[in-house]
Amino acid sequence: MGSSSSKGVGVVETAAATTATNAAAAGGDKPKCKACCACPETKRARDQCIVENGEENCTKLIEAHKQCMRDAGFNI
């Protein structure tokens, strides 16, 4: 009885590991840092522009920061 239940656990663990591996491969590289620490140069320029000029006047800097975040591995 005990051996049959441990086989079931092994199958579940293997399936979970396969699913996680496939998700990582499909999603690309995992980000190397937290979102708050990624792309400080574009983030700083974007934030300063928004404070001084308003969000509607900073679309190029906003898009540049979004692209930097995507390049760093984030889903933006």
Q: What is the pLDDT of residues 11-52, one digit of tens each?
A: 333 333 333 333 333 455 688 899 999 999 999 999 999 999
Residue 49 lies in a domain: yes
Number of domain units in the chain? 1
Predicted confidence at residue 51, as pLDDT, reads: 98
Q: How many CA atoms lie within 13 A of 67 on its CB side?
A: 6
- The range of the structural domain enclosing residue 66 comes to 40-71
Which residues contact residue 33 at a Cβ distance below 8 angstroms, ignoring those fewer than 6 apart?
72
Give the pLDDT mean for 57-65: 98
Structure tokens at 52: 């001084």
Residue 6 lies in a domain: no
Q: For residues 31 and 49, what is the distance between their CA atoms, to the nearest angstrom?
A: 26
pTM attached to this predicted model: 0.60
DSSP code for 56: G
Predicted confidence at residue 28, as pLDDT, reads: 59
Residue 27 lies in a domain: no
Residue 44 lies in a domain: yes
Which residue has better confidence, 24 or 58?
58
Which string of DSSP letters, residue by residue, matches 1-22?
A: -HHHHHHHHHHHHHHHHHHHHH
Residue 31 lies in a domain: no
Residue 46 lies in a domain: yes
Residue 13 lies in a domain: no
